[in-house]
Amino acid sequence: MSTVGDPATVRPDVSAHELITTTRAVRLRLDLDRPVAPELLEACVADALQAPQGSNLMRTEFVVVRDPERISRLGTIYREEFDGFYRASEVGLFKRVDADDEHAAQSRRTRDSAEHLAAVMDRVPAIVIPCLTPRLADGDLLAAKHRLATVYPTVWNFMLAARLRGLGTCWTGMTLAREADVAEIVGIDPEAVEQVCMIPVAHHTGERFRPAWRPPATDFIHWDTW
């Protein structure tokens, strides 16, 4: 198995600008019936590790789950958290009231796709769990900021690399409250390893993605001072 991405597997027709503006959280368009080859996943991890690394330390490791029985159990945890916590959350999509009609319409579409993902998470062909070692120290917020600043670009690189290989992904934090349960299923030492998120991975259906609606950039820029 190659430890580097094979350029032949990368889509040559996706420009850098298209890649960063149309890489979506894929939920509805995950192909549940098509396996994801381990070589593709390994190539995505190899590309992910090219992200900038703070102090040149490799802090991010990936648990790649392809076993259907483990995926089924992880999917059950995901659905339990979605139904028991996310639906009632004040910061989630189900209680959100958007003043802008276009934003509200997009929120409804996202809510519907999130419900779909919760229903099928136990059937996706692969789940990737990015992890940080050693665990973050309790109460040391500054150190956590520094260390997570390395993890996040690495994980996003993984998702961009997946997109270029015809794979859909979705960053989720739904299972972080159940770290110990997830750790037991996939053999993670919960005392030593910090789970960062959980990412379903599958080939996606359809050919193209498009930019999502966003408010104007001027609404989010503070020139020189807040």
Label residue 40 by pLDDT band (50, 70, 90).
very high
For residue 62, the model assigns a pLDDT of 98
* Domain residue limits, the chain: 7-68+124-210
Q: Is the pLDDT of residue 196 over 60?
A: yes
Query: Looking at the predicted structure, is the pLDDT value of residue 212 above 80?
Result: yes
Rounded CA-CA distance 126/168 in Å is 11
DSSP code per residue over 154-207:
HHHHHHHHHHHTTEEE--B-TTGGGHHHHHHHHT--TTT-EE--BEEEEEBSSS
Name the fold adopted by 7-68+124-210.
Answer: NADH Oxidase (3.40.109)
Please report which confidence band the pLDDT of residue 3 belongs to, taking 50, 70 and 90 as the band edges. very low
Q: How many CB atoms within 10 Å of residue 18?
A: 16
pTM of the model: 0.90
Quote helix, strand, coil % in the chain, to nearest 5.
45, 10, 40
pLDDT mean across residues, the chain: 90
Question: How big is the CA angle at 173 (ends 167 and 175), to the nearest 5 degrees?
Answer: 105
pLDDT per position as a tens digit, 43-89: 999 999 999 887 777 789 999 999 999 999 999 999 999 998 888 87
